[in-house]
Structure 1
Amino acid sequence: MHNNQSGATPSQSSQPLVGLKILVRTWRSKYPLLSFITSRLVTMLVVLFVFGWALFGLMALAPGDIVDQMMQQQLMSQTESKGGSNRDNVLSEEQMAKMRSELGLDKPFTIQYFRWLERVVIHHDLGVSLISKAPVSFLIKSRIVNSLVLNIISLVFITVFSFLLGVYFSSKAGTRVDVAATFFALFFHAFPGILLLILLQLFASITGLFPVTAYPDFPLSENPIKFIFSYNYHVFLPLFASFLGGIGGTMRMIRSTMLDQMGMPYIMALRSRGISERRVYLNHAFRNTLNPYITGSANLLASLFSGSLVLEIIFSYPGIGRLSYDAVMQQDVNLVLACTMLIAALDLIGITISDILLAVVDPRIRYGKEG
């Protein structure tokens, strides 16, 4: 027999783990909603961490790097200035290797990622753009507000009209108006968004009724009132395209949810009590459409942010999507990572908020297996 020199039995060594499990279970039962919110926030942080690591890996797999981009730009500038190829001042292999070492590009992408995390989380520094040498935080601040304004306006319009039209057409189910609305909703939902944007820009170019760009050519500080009117005029067509692409699926979801609720037994019981049809629709059936919409709104917000990349490129809108595109084309690692991680964080925050709202609206969710 062997003596247990530590003097602790296996059951004694597992006691802290058992105690921790009991503490967590007690905390969940005592504060179910707070436990649910905490679990969602932890999940969001884990997803962001894995996403950033995968993004670094994809950037490492891409051919070339920022040093190669600088080399090409130097060659092009010398060729244009000299009228021919001139390689006298071209960087040597040793100089390029030294630049990669200074930028940390010679390290494995996992080490680069943890260094980036340390700089961002501990020092709150997003670094500088490797191309423009401007602080990444400054570049993002000048663009993120534009993207947030555009996407929030789109979400508000889609939400309001989706509920109004969805509830209205659910009361007209089977009629010609409902069939026509369903057809157009399916048509615009299936219509390619990039093609719709191009067609609208061609319409603006041919007719001259709207500008082909989505942003005024003067800053807000110059004339705030004039800027607001000019902004609404410039952004009308992109918002219209976003509205047509998003309202179809959302309106059909609310319509189908309303029709499902109207067939429930509790609706028949309400009608048998003599409650007016208006109260049955708005006070009872309508409230039960919130759960699926809250879930769908998170996906809608994520699709708006991902779709705004194409919108900002086509209509020359100075948002975070176009900034990300330019950074990817130039292989500006710091700017690509900051922009992409920010967009991913906003999408995950939207999904997390929708989960929390679902738990607030429906208390049964926090007691589920995921809670």
Structure 2
Amino acid sequence: MGRFICKRLAATILVIVAASMLTFGILHLTPGSTPATILKYAFIGLEEIPTDAEITEITTRFKLSDPLYQQYYRWIKQALRGDLGDSYVYRLPVAELIGLRFPATALLAVLSVTLSLLISIPLGILCAVKRNTFFDHFNRLLALFAVAMPSFWLAYLLIIVFSLGFNLFPVAGFRSLSSLVLPCVTLAAGMGAVTLRIMRSSMLEVMGQDYILTARSKGLYERSVIAKHALKNAFLPVVTVVGLQFGHMLGGSVIVETVFSWPGIGKLLIDSIFAKDIPVVQGCILLIAGTYALVNLLVDLSYALMDPRIRYGRES
């Protein structure tokens, strides 16, 4: 187990470094002058044209004239000391900005995953038990629509119906608990549809195994067979998908947070990309990559608890 954890941690570090290098390079390859963009977003306004003196001043202040490798080396050296630098636009430490935005993203992620699981897990089990009935076909069709539906389209549809039409929930922002409803439903819909389909397929596969037939032949009630014998093994693939989706949400669901102007990591990342606020973008990417890797590690470790047959120490 120790060897497995060390390998995963090493892979995590490589993923984070590679993601930060790729992000740093792409940001400098995008059209437009970085000093001019920073000036427009943080100092003079989007409609104004920066002067040469202003561009020179910003370039000197943030050392933007240095070669890219020097800028990246300076950032990674500070990051190893726990300093992610200061935002060009917000003029605050990046770690402080992320700390302010992350709770909103975490709250949205936890509630969305909870809502998704409360709906998709029971429906997936019932669809497997009632295979090829009207109930099964209806829920599979509904899940297919939810999977195929773009999240931004569903978000705008919910806003039009429940915010503009019935005036039940706020359109954007985080003013009260009611502001959570539409973003949570939007995120939970797509995730729940995927979880439902995987839960159904996994249950059908498990229920065809010999030990399930043996349990039934002993005269056990069907409810007992499902609850005590089938569910534990059927949950393995579901844990994988839910873990990765939860990591995605913790990293910031960019589209949903942007549509609903949710004050989370995803919205911060998009705003910083437009403003070419490189330290903030790097910090957000670092958080997202680290969150994905950590959640993936926890999911892998949970396999050993759910299925004792798995022995990570024997991996090549």
Q: Which residue of 2 aligns with 1:337?
A: 282
1:244-323 equivalences in 2 (<5 Å): 244-305=189-250, 308-323=253-268
Matched, 1:91 2:55: no
Native 8 Å contact 1:297 1:354 kept in 2: no
Query: What secondary structure is seen at the aligned counterpart in 2 of 1:286?
Result: helix
CA drift of 1:341 comes to: 1.5
Shift of 1:96: 3.6
Contact 2:140–2:197 (CA under 8 A) maintained in structure 1 = yes
Residues 2-151 of structure 1 aligned to structure 2 (within 5 Å) = 33-72=1-40, 90-92=51-53, 96-97=55-56, 99-122=58-81, 124-151=82-109
The change in CA–CA distance for 1:57 and 1:185 in structure 2 (over 3 A counts) is same
How far 1:59 sits from its partner (Å)? 1.4
Between 293-302 and 44-53, the greater mean CA deviation after superposition: 293-302
Q: Distance in 1 between matches of 2:260 and 2:30?
A: 28
Code of the aligned partner of 1:287: K
In structure 1, the residue matched to 2:165 is 206
Quote the Cα distance in structure 1 between the aligned partners of 2:38 and 2:127.
Answer: 58
Cα–Cα, structure 1 residues 171 and 135, in superposed 2: closer, same or farther, change >3 Å? Answer: same
Secondary structure at 1:209 match in 2 = coil
Contact 1:129 1:334 in 2 (8 A): yes
**Any idea what SS the aligned residue of 1:284 has?**
helix
Q: In 1, distance between residues paired with 2:238 and 2:135?
A: 23
Match of 1:239 in 2: 184
Secondary structure, counterpart of 2:203 in structure 1 = helix
1:312-357 Cα offsets, whole Å, 9 max, x none, are 1111211111111111111111111111221221122111111121
Q: What do you get for the CA RMSD once the two structures are aligned?
A: 2.3
Hey, what's the Cα distance between the residues in 2 that align with 1:37 and 1:70? 41
Counterpart contact for 1:213–1:234, Cα < 8 Å: yes
Residues 45/77 of structure 1: CA separation in 2 closer, same or farther (3 Å cut): closer
Seen in structure 2, the aligned counterparts of structure 1 residues 268 and 79 have a Cα distance that, compared at 3 Å, is closer
Q: Is the 8 A contact 1:158 1:247 kept in 2?
A: yes
For the structure 1 residues 200 and 74, does the alpha-carbon distance in structure 2 shift closer, same or farther, using more than 3 Å as the test? Answer: closer
Contact residue 101 and residue 265 of structure 2 kept, 8 A? yes
Is 1:162 aligned to 2:130, yes or no? no
Equivalent position SS for 1:337: helix
The answer to whether the 8 Å contact 2:39/2:45 transfers is no
Partner amino acid, structure 2, of 1:321: G
For 2:139 and 2:285, locate their aligned partners in 1 and report how far apart those are by CA, in whole Å: 37
User: CA offset at residue 263 of structure 1?
Assistant: 0.8
Shift of residue 97, structure 1, vs aligned partner: 4.6
Q: Residue 196 of structure 1: CA displacement?
A: 0.4
CA shift for structure 1 position 303:
4.1
Higher-Rg member (1/2): 1
TM-score for both structures, normalised by structure 1: 0.78
The gaps in structure 2 that reach 5 residues or longer are none
Residue 312 of structure 2 corresponds to 366
Q: Quick check: 1:357 aligned with 2:302?
A: yes
1:115: Cα distance to partner?
1.3
Identity %: 29
Say whether 1:327 aligns with 2:272.
yes
* CA pair 70-210 structure 1, distance change in 2 beyond 3 A: closer
CA shift for structure 1 position 71: 4.7
- In structure 2, what is the Cα distance between the partners aligned to 1:79 and 1:153? 40
Q: Which moved more, 1:103-112 or 1:255-264?
A: 103-112
Q: Distance in 1 between matches of 2:265 and 2:295?
A: 17
Q: TM-score, normalised by structure 2?
A: 0.91
- Report the CA distance shift for 1:78/1:277 in structure 2 as closer, same or farther (over 3 A): closer
In the alignment, is the contact (CA less than 8 A) between 1:162 and 1:251 conserved in 2? yes
Moved over 3 A (4+): 70-80, 95-99, 302-307
